[in-house]
Amino acid sequence: MTVDKLVRLFAGLMVLISVALTYFVHPYWMGLTIFVGANLAQSGLTNICPLASILKKMGVPESTPCG
């Protein structure tokens, strides 16, 4: 898997988990959904993603322009 795919997978899983926690545990878990959404928005605007930086340092390959 590439960095881009892992970032999207992680963000999607975090949203799904936080929605489940909000429904089954406590409404304050909605804050996690808001955090993930805000992080995705700032990443789209600034092209800076903390998770992508961590994954790159761990040696996860980046995607190629055609792949």
Can you say how many angstroms the Cα of residue 67 is from the centroid of all Cα atoms in its chain?
Answer: 21
pTM of the model: 0.84
Our CA angle for 29, 36, 48, nearest 5°, is 155
Q: Rounded to an integer, what distance in angstroms lies between the CA atom of residue 65 and that of residue 51?
A: 20
Q: Classify 59 in phi/psi space as left (phi over 0), alpha (psi -120 to 50) or beta.
A: left
In the prediction, which pLDDT does 55 show?
Answer: 95
Q: How many helices (H) and strands (E) does the chain have?
A: 3, 0
User: Which residue ranges make up each domain of the chain?
Assistant: 3-57
The model's pLDDT over 9-60, given as tens digits with 9 standing for 90+, comes to 999 999 999 999 999 999 999 999 999 999 999 999 999 999 999 999 999 9
In the prediction, which pLDDT does 28 show?
Answer: 96
**Amino acid letter at 27?**
P
